[in-house]
């Protein structure tokens, strides 16, 4: 055996040993190239990215300036107004959602044709502080709830969302007697016709307390412009209307009007109601009109600053004895309003973990938009569309292989 033959034999044995794990292990049995090694790494990574929606936690603070209350010119109404004094409110909102189940099925050869089902758990904790200058002890109202939501995206055009947000509400002034269970929910269908790029419409129904009472209302909305485009306009009754400008993937500027409000049990220790009720109900609503700056500082963190004028501010007081035996929207025994007043609204959002690629998938963008604009807890105050980045390129169409497109993270493209 010559030396050269020995070296050749050793080389063949070495190559054979190197390929043994590939021949008998769990990896693909096809001939391997550098590209196949990359694909193997991506497959390993796919075990970590199971969902398209990332767990998200956000916190925000909203507050208005102090204004005088104006009520009806009756003796009873004026007595309550004098007992309350001037009015302002501050609100702290903590929200969270996380996917617990995701199913995805490809339709056809184009990886952007993807039918998905998402099941999420949601949570919300809110402190609402209506502050009345004449009261010696202020009422701190709260909402706390854990809910579920399901989102089904199918047919390259349709998204259906159902959100169930049960919550407990009460007044920290007297926790034991004011605690009450309420249930808010929303069912909405969003359609983005493929024949009309940059347009979508929504229809649905919502059980909401945003207008200071208990209402079941229709939802109607539309959007003009792509969610990942430079400009788009979106309006949906009864929640909001926004005009969004996204100069780059990191920043968006929004001109908006949105409804805010709530419905709570309130201790009657102040004797605001002349009857025997120890607990009454307090409702408030208004329109926030202003500008909002969102900054996507990183793939895991974003924040916003917002300000403007809070208009159409109204409050109502209800009592159970005054509304005995009715399940319809409540009749109030007192109502008042204020003039427009400045407000400040700030917040931060944190996203965790990994997500499957959704770049260029407009149907998935509709999923994100519905998930973020219809917030858990019925507060109309969500984390914003931090998962939808402004882009002039359709990154997903550049990736032809289904197994690769499904594994790359959306945030890798930032």
Sketch the domain layout of the chain as residue ranges: 54-413
More reliable by pLDDT, 99 or 14:
99
Q: Nearest-CA neighbor of 244 among 229, 235, 231, 257? A: 231
pLDDT tens by residue, 331-372: 999 999 999 999 999 999 999 998 888 887 889 999 999 999
pLDDT tens by residue, 203-245: 999 999 999 999 999 999 999 999 999 999 999 999 999 999 9
| Long-range pairs, 212-216, Cβ under 8 A, ≥24 | 212/261, 212/262, 212/263, 212/283, 212/284, 212/285, 212/314, 212/315, 212/316, 213/263, 213/283, 213/316, 213/318, 213/329, 213/330, 214/182, 214/263, 214/329, 214/330, 215/329
Q: Is 12 helix (H, G, I), strand (E, B) or coil?
A: helix
**pLDDT score of 22:** 44
Report how far residue 44's alpha carbon sits from residue 407's, in angstroms, rounded to the nearest whole number: 9
- Angstrom CA distances, 129 to 291, 316, 355, stand at 23, 15, 37
The average pLDDT across 313-322 equals 93
**pLDDT score of 28:** 47
Tokens of 231: 């400009």
> Using 50, 70 and 90 to split pLDDT, how confident is the model at 10?
very low
pLDDT at residue 405 tops 90:
no
Asked if 56 and 353 touch (Cβ cutoff 8 Å), the reply is no
Report how far residue 245's alpha carbon sits from residue 161's, in angstroms, rounded to the nearest whole number: 26
More reliable by pLDDT, 95 or 33:
95
**pLDDT score of 337:** 96
Give the count of alpha carbons within 13 A of 205, CB side only.
3
Q: How long a stretch of residues is the chain?
A: 414
Tokens of 70: 């104006």
Which has the minimum average pLDDT: 73-87, 227-241, 277-291, 397-411?
397-411
Asked if 355 and 51 touch (Cβ cutoff 8 Å), the reply is yes
More reliable by pLDDT, 147 or 136:
147
- Angstrom CA distances, 379 to 28, 45, 115, 124, 213, stand at 50, 37, 29, 9, 13
> Using 50, 70 and 90 to split pLDDT, how confident is the model at 15?
very low
Tokens of 182: 């309420």
């Amino acid at each position: 055996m010559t030396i050269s033959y020995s070296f050749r034999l050793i080389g063949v044995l070495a190559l054979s040993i190197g390929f043994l794990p590939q021949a008998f292990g769990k990896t693909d049995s096809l001939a391997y190239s550098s590209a196949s090694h990359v694909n193997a790494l991506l497959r390993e990574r796919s075990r970590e990215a199971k969902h398209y929606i990332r767990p998200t936690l956000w916190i925000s603070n909203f507050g208005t300036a102090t204004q005088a209350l104006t009520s009806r010119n009756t003796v009873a109404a004026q007595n309550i107004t004098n007992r309350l004094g001037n009015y302002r409110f501050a609100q702290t909102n903590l929200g969270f959602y996380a996917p617990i189940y995701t199913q995805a099925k490809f339709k056809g050869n184009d990886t952007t044709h993807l039918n998905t089902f998402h099941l999420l758990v949601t949570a919300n904790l809110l402190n609402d502080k209506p502050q009345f200058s004449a009261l010696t002890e202020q009422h701190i109202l709260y909402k706390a709830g854990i809910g579920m939501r399901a989102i089904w995206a199918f047919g390259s055009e349709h998204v259906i969302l159902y959100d169930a947000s049960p919550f407990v509400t009460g007044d920290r002034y007297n926790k034991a007697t004011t605690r009450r269970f309420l249930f808010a929910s929303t069912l909405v269908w969003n359609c983005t016709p493929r024949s009309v790029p940059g347009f979508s419409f929504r229809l649905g129904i919502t059980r909401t307390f945003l207008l200071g009472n208990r209402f079941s209302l229709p939802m109607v909305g539309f959007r003009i412009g792509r969610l990942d485009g430079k400009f788009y306009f979106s309006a949906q009754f009864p929640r909001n209307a926004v005009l969004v400008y996204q100069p780059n993937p990191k920043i968006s500027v929004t001109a908006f009007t949105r409804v805010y409000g709530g419905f709570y049990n309130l201790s009657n220790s102040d004797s605001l109601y002349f009857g025997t009720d120890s607990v009454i109900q307090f409702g408030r609503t208004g329109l926030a009109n202003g500008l909002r700056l969102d900054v996507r500082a990183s793939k895991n963190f974003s924040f916003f600053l917002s300000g403007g004028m809070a208009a159409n501010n109204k409050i109502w007081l209800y009592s159970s004895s005054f509304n005995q035996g009715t399940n319809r929207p409540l009749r109030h025994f007192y109502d008042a309003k204020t003039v427009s007043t400045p407000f400040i609204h700030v917040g931060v959002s944190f996203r965790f973990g990994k997500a499957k690629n959704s770049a260029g998938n407009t149907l998935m963008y509709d999923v994100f938009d519905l998930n973020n604009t219809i917030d858990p807890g019925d507060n109309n105050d969500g984390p914003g569309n931090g998962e939808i980045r402004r882009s002039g390129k359709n990154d997903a169409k550049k990736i032809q292989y289904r197994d690769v497109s499904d594994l790359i993270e959306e945030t890798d493209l930032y």
